[in-house]
A and B are shown apart, each in its own frame.
Chain A
Amino acid sequence: MKIEILGTGCPKCKKLSELTAEAIKELGVSAEITKVTDLNKFIDYGVILTPALVINGEVKVAGKVPSKKEITKWIEEKKNK
């Protein structure tokens, strides 16, 4: 599974990375987390508001920090496919 975190290094982006890492650890799935800071990449995903969470190329959330529960749900959905 490929997870990308789009952000410019703002505190919210860091929080999102932390929560995502925790969620992955708790679920025990193998996933590769990449932090994307290149603004051009944001546009490719159509993301304007940071931070954003992208799982396997699909934008799950943009512009806010989701709860860990939500992140866990998204990862599980993708895992089961």
Chain B
Amino acid sequence: MPTYAFTLNGKKVTVDAPADMPLLWVLRDLLGVTGPKYGCGVGVCRACTCHVNGTAVQVCTLTAADVVGKKVTTIEGLAPQGGLHPVQQAWLEEDVAQCGFCQPGQIMQATALLNSKRNPSDTDIDQIMNVCRCGTYCRIRKAIKRAASTM
């Protein structure tokens, strides 16, 4: 089985995995990182959203081969151990989460947006395609704006 090396949440990791194994299952089943969630497996619901070199991606549509030598960040690695990223802090202050299942993906998506645009417009926020079945969208919007004002 091929071996792939990449950086996961700041640490170098090496995994033996089939070449076509989705990164979502590499993370969850081989590396025990469960923050990214399975919601559809086809990049539609975006509950698995993580960062690769700072860009938001759906890890269910990537493989380990796609991230060789790159920096993969999951929700667990967004902030230093024990701390909170300003976006996570904004999520707490707006009391965004309900069931919480999509929220790691929402937060990773929002953070990538804020990293590319310091003050995203409503139109920018409208481009976020992550599904929240509990319907927390209004608070997500407020939390992104709150985070924008503190980052």
Q: Do A and B come from one complex?
A: no
B binding-site residues for A, Cβ under 8 Å: none
Interface residues of A (CB under 8 A from B): none
